[in-house]
Amino acid sequence: MKFSSLFMLPSLASTVLADVFNPDPSSFPDWSKVSKFDPEIYVQLKRMSSPALSPNRKNVVYSQYQYNIGDDASGTNLRLVDLTKGFDSVMDLTDYIYKQGDSSPVWIDDSTIAFTAVRGSPASNIFTISTVDQKITQLTNFTNDVSGLVYSKEAGRIAFISKVYQGMSLDQSADERQRIADLPSSGVVFHKLFVRHWDEWIYQDRNQLFTIPVSNNNGVVKTTGDPVNIVASYTGEWGLEPDTYEFSPDGKNILYSAKIEGREEAWQTDAGVFWSPADGSSAPVRLNSNFKGAASSPACSPDGSSIVWLQMATPGYESDQNQVILYNIKSGSQTRLIPDFTRSPSSVSFSDDSASLILGINYNIDEALFKLDISSGTLTRMSGNGSFGFVSQVSEDSYLVTVNTLQYPTSLFMISCGSDQSYNTSQITFENKDVLDRLWFSPTYNFWFNGALNDSVQAMVLYPYGFDPECTYPVFYLIHGGPQSSWNDGWSWRWNPNLYANQGFLVVIVNFHGGDAYGQAFTDSIRHNWGTYPYEDLMTGLDVLLSNAPFADADNVVAVGASYGGYMINWMNGHTNRFKAMVNHDGGFSLISKYYASDELYFNEHDMGIPWIPSDRQIYEKNNPERFTADWKTPTFFIHSHYDFRVPISESLSAFTTLQRQGVDSKLLYFPDESHWISRPPNVLKWVSEILEWVGSYTDTDVWSYTS
């Protein structure tokens, strides 16, 4: 496939495993030999995070979380794999103990790892462990939590994040937080937005980037000075909160990105790429002040000559295309690479020789890895089907990556380039293999159809447990959020489609207009059109399915959506009666009331405008589900949480009130301790159980239920 004269891709393997509407019965298992994937198994699967490659590139350390339903407790420990020996060499580097969390591992040398934990300390602190004898040593003893460790041998420093007050150290900030908590009055005064963001109230403390000097004498690591807040001397408004950060190859500087603070931060997306001395000896220097859009994923070239980052050009638009910007450190010049590429990379890093970039790009239903040759502009796809994440380069032609699909959670794989320049993958870790091998996971099937604007639109299909093409099955129509996002062939710890397929539903997902994996024009089309093009795609996609799949029960279709998907549930309730029942998780009811109560105004303002401007108000009203409540007739189950500040709980309360007042069967599930997503395992079990009970009752389907 050729994008232009600059970009060459190998032909991509089709993700269609067979005729999705006429599947081969022999492709399904002997159902007596496989078990259902149920929610109790789901919440107890092991979860990998933060893999890190040793300096000699022989070992990988990672943290692993697991929940035990019997004890209602979870823990996170560190695991180690020798790449030269394979998964047979895997070992628990730290003991797995419920209610203990070891995380954020980084290599100090080939036999010493630093990580964060509490382990009896007054807060989350830095510890080290030897891979030789597993001896653990406490490195710091702050009373304020630290997280996100990054180490540089050349700098002799560890970088980390800690939430502090202006002008205060870590321990002083912990004291100040306690002083405020002990005041007789709990009242808090705000002078600007954000007042709250995502799932927390925004007070006067901020996540700041610190570095602390350390020495390493044959694996004996000690701090040799106090931590320095390297963003404290920023000349703009105090409170920069760095996210991605790394040391320069020579250790003299640290590179990071951070959203610009100030009075307009709730309705602007401006984010800086900053360059600071690693010891904080001078103020941060912004490298992208010529842009006013969001920036992310800054990285230094190993040869020390260049910096790369992803840059959005449109102010206030969080889903603008990410441009790939190459910055020459010596001259200060910027070059936009692959300017004619229509997709939007989500991550970028350098190859070891500094001659290429590794890009993560949402590409149709895959999160794929691409290699960009900087000098020629040639773009080559490295990965196959599934959702890939880049970890580290192991050799000239091999990369350690993470991979997950709808069939298995994140695992480590090796991508290797063969003599024919094709890339092959081999699995390295198999943490959940014994459990997964005895369960049914539907393969990821897909089909395309002509949707709104006569564009090609992609849909995914998962078959139910016990599938027989001669029978019919209820359809679980799963509607993604965003709306500027797409559903990937990737594992989800929130909405896992195979959970519902295993309960006897034919699960169908349409990547409607607005998605981020089909080119920037496809993404941009959602602006001013929340209720039009996506709705047309969803209705057309359902028509195509029901017209072509004899095993899809047209009289038993339920629609389920979260966030924007929940908004679409409300929209469909006023525009169609074709669904037996619906489920709305954290969905918008009135675009106008949501604008005034939500946290990030730039999202609403870019997509709809400002509601007190008459011309913009018309756009809001055109797309507002609340206008059509007189036509709501479909039984709907609403779910919302107290700490969802993106879509405030008043939205579901309003929608629930509408159906209750009109005498339409409806139900509300409220979580006082959750946010936009449900995360606590017992809450997840309750949440899934209630969803299944609702859709099962309306489709006459026997489903799993939770007994607490």
- 149-183: per-residue pLDDT in tens? 999 999 999 999 999 999 999 999 999 999 999 99
Q: What is the pLDDT of residue 26?
A: 87
Are 346 and 362 contacting, i.e. CB atoms less than 8 angstroms apart? yes
- State in words which class domain 441-699 has: alpha beta
Rg (CA), the chain: 26
Mean pLDDT across 412-429: 91
Mean pLDDT across 261-287: 97
pLDDT band for position 234 (50/70/90)?
very high
Q: Is the pLDDT of residue 329 over 80?
A: yes
Q: Is 518 helix (H, G, I), strand (E, B) or coil?
A: coil
pLDDT band for position 24 (50/70/90)?
confident
Give phi and psi for 161, each to the nearest 5.
-110, 140
- Looking from the CA of 498 toward its CB, the CA atoms found within 13 Å total 24
What is the maximal distance between C-alpha atoms in the chain? 74
Q: How many CB atoms lie within 10 A of CB 482?
A: 18
Mean pLDDT across 269-286: 98
pLDDT band for position 418 (50/70/90)?
confident
Of 319-328, 421-430, 679-688, where does mean pLDDT reach its minimum? 421-430
Q: Is the pLDDT of residue 17 over 80?
A: no
Q: Is the pLDDT of residue 58 over 50?
A: yes
pLDDT band for position 16 (50/70/90)?
very low
Q: Is the pLDDT of residue 211 over 70?
A: yes
Q: Is 631 helix (H, G, I), strand (E, B) or coil?
A: helix
Q: Is the pLDDT of residue 2 over 90?
A: no
Question: Per-residue b/e over 601-629, b at no fewer than 16 CB within 10 Å?
Answer: bbbbbbbbbebeeeebbebbeebbbbbeb
Q: What is the pLDDT of residue 149?
A: 98
Q: Is 546 helix (H, G, I), strand (E, B) or coil?
A: helix
Cβ-proximal residues to 98 (8 Å cutoff; 6+ apart), any chain: 68, 71, 73, 74, 75
Q: Which two tokens stand for residue 96?
A: 């797995």
Mean pLDDT across 466-477: 97
Q: How far is CA 105 from CA 101, 117, 566, 620, in A?
A: 12, 10, 37, 47
Q: Is the pLDDT of residue 400 over 90?
A: yes
Are 350 and 399 contacting, i.e. CB atoms less than 8 angstroms apart? no
Q: What is the pLDDT of residue 217?
A: 95
Mean pLDDT across 482-487: 97
Q: What is the pLDDT of residue 587?
A: 98
Q: What is the pLDDT of residue 422?
A: 85
Percent of the chain past pLDDT 70, that is, above it, reads: 97
Q: What is the pLDDT of residue 14?
A: 33
Q: What is the pLDDT of residue 10?
A: 32
Mean pLDDT of all residues belonging to the chain: 95
Q: ω before 194 within 30° of 0 (cis)?
A: yes
pLDDT band for position 420 (50/70/90)?
confident
Q: What is the pLDDT of residue 232?
A: 96
Q: Is the pLDDT of residue 212 over 70?
A: yes
Q: How many CB atoms lie within 10 A of CB 237?
A: 12
- C-alpha 132, offset from chain centre: 35
Q: What is the pLDDT of residue 548?
A: 97
Q: Is the pLDDT of residue 7 over 70?
A: no
Are 347 and 388 contacting, i.e. CB atoms less than 8 angstroms apart? no
Domain boundaries of the chain, sorted by first residue? 441-699
Q: Which two tokens stand for residue 470?
A: 């001669």
Q: What is the pLDDT of residue 275?
A: 98
pLDDT band for position 99 (50/70/90)?
confident
Cβ-proximal residues to 212 (8 Å cutoff; 6+ apart), any chain: 140, 157, 158, 160, 223, 225, 226, 227, 228
Which residue, 252, 219, 229, 122, is CA-closest to 178? 122
Percent of the chain past pLDDT 90, that is, above it, reads: 95
Q: What is the pLDDT of residue 707?
A: 85
Write out pLDDT tens, residues 337-374. Answer: 999 999 999 999 999 999 999 999 999 999 999 999 99
Cβ-proximal residues to 666 (8 Å cutoff; 6+ apart), any chain: 635, 636, 637, 638, 656, 659, 660
Q: Supply the pTM of this predicted model.
A: 0.96
- Looking from the CA of 476 toward its CB, the CA atoms found within 13 Å total 23
Q: Is the pLDDT of residue 606 over 90?
A: yes
Q: How many CB atoms lie within 10 A of CB 16?
A: 13
Cα separation, 170 vs 174, whole angstroms = 6
CA torsion angle 250 253 256 258 (round to 10)? 180
CA angle 46, 50, 55 (to 5 degrees): 130
List the beta strands (DSSP E) in 329-463: 334-337, 345-350, 356-363, 366-373, 379-381, 387-395, 398-405, 408-417, 423-427, 445-450, 456-462
What is the identity of the amino acid at 582? M
Q: For residue 13, what is the DSSP state?
A: P
Q: Long-range contacts made by residues 543-547, C-beta under 8 angstroms, separation at least 24?
A: 544/447, 544/449, 544/459, 545/447, 545/459, 545/461, 545/475, 545/508, 546/475
Mean pLDDT across 275-299: 98
Q: Is the pLDDT of residue 6 over 50?
A: no
Write out pLDDT tens, residues 661-673. Answer: 999 999 999 999 9
Cα separation, 312 vs 287, whole angstroms = 14
Cα separation, 690 vs 39, whole angstroms = 12
Mean pLDDT across 449-462: 98
List residues bridging with 350 in a β-sheet.
Answer: 357
Could you tell me whether strands 356-363 and 366-373 are parallel, antiparallel, or unpaired per DSSP bridges? antiparallel
pLDDT band for position 9 (50/70/90)?
very low
Are 64 and 48 contacting, i.e. CB atoms less than 8 angstroms apart? yes
Q: What is the pLDDT of residue 419?
A: 76
Question: Per-residue b/e over 214-227, b at no fewer than 16 CB within 10 Å?
Answer: beeeebebebeeeb
Write out pLDDT tens, residues 112-134. Answer: 999 999 999 999 999 999 999 99
Cβ-proximal residues to 316 (8 Å cutoff; 6+ apart), any chain: 267, 268, 269, 293, 602, 605, 606
